[in-house]
Structure 1
Amino acid sequence: MAPDQLLEQKQAEKQEVKGYFETTGFDRWNRIYSESDDVNKVQRNIRIGHQKTVDEVLAWIKDSGELNEVSFCDAGCGVGSLSLPLAEMGAGSISASDISEAMAQEADRRARAAGLDMGKLNFFASDLESLSGSFHTVCCLDVFIHYPQQPAEEMVKHLCSLTEERLIVSFAPYTLLLALLKGIGQLFPGPSKTTRAYTLKEEGIVKSAEACGFKLVRRSLNKAPFYFSRLIEFRKA
Structure 2
Amino acid sequence: MNVVDDKAVVKEYFNNTGFERWQRIYGDGEVNKVQLDIRTGHQQTVDTLLEWLAADNNLEGLSICDAGCGVGSLSIPLAQAKAIVYASDISEKMVGEAKENAAKLFGNNDNPTFSVQDLESLSGNYHTVVCLDVLIHYPQDKAAEMISHLASIAQSRLILSFAPKTPCLSLLKKIGSFFPGASKATRAYLHRETEIVQILEAQGFKIERKAMTKTRFYFSRMLEAVK
Superposed pair shares fold, TM > 0.5: yes
Residues 1:235 and 2:221 aligned together = no
Match of 2:16 in 1: 23
Which residue identity is paired with 1:82? L
In structure 1, how many angstroms separate the alpha carbons of the residues matched to 2:33 and 2:41?
A: 12
Match of 1:140 in 2: 131
Which of 106, 109, 112 is 1:121 aligned to? 112
Residues 1:42 and 2:2 aligned together = no
Moved over 4 A (4+): none
8 Å CA contact 1:146–1:197 kept in 2: the answer is yes
**TM-score, normalised relative to structure 1:** 0.91
- Kindly tell me: are residues 119 and 225 of structure 1, through their superposed partners in 2, closer, same or farther at Cα, counting changes over 3 Å? same
Which residue identity is paired with 2:193? E
8 Å CA contact 1:132–1:162 kept in 2: the answer is yes
How far did residue 66 of structure 1 move?
2.4
Structure 1 counterpart SS, 2:85: strand
Listed as ranges, the matches of 1:35-184 within 5 Å are: 35-37=28-30, 39-91=31-83, 93-115=84-106, 118-184=109-175
How far did residue 140 of structure 1 move?
0.2
Which of 189, 193, 208 is 1:202 aligned to? 193
Structure 1: tracts of 5 or more residues without a match: none
8 Å CA contact 1:87–1:116 kept in 2: the answer is no
Structure 2 counterpart SS, 1:78: coil
Percent identity over the alignment is 54
In structure 2, how many angstroms separate the alpha carbons of the residues matched to 1:190 and 1:76?
A: 23
Over the aligned positions, Cα root-mean-square deviation in angstroms equals 1.8
How far did residue 195 of structure 1 move?
0.7
Which residue identity is paired with 1:217? E
**TM-score, normalised relative to structure 2:** 0.95
In structure 1, how many angstroms separate the alpha carbons of the residues matched to 2:201 and 2:118?
A: 24
- Kindly tell me: are residues 164 and 40 of structure 1, through their superposed partners in 2, closer, same or farther at Cα, counting changes over 3 Å? same
In structure 2, how many angstroms separate the alpha carbons of the residues matched to 1:57 and 1:220?
A: 9
Structure 2 counterpart SS, 1:74: strand
How far did residue 118 of structure 1 move?
2.4
Match of 2:7 in 1: 14
Structure 2: tracts of 5 or more residues without a match: none
In structure 2, how many angstroms separate the alpha carbons of the residues matched to 1:100 and 1:50?
A: 18
Number of residues paired by the alignment?
226
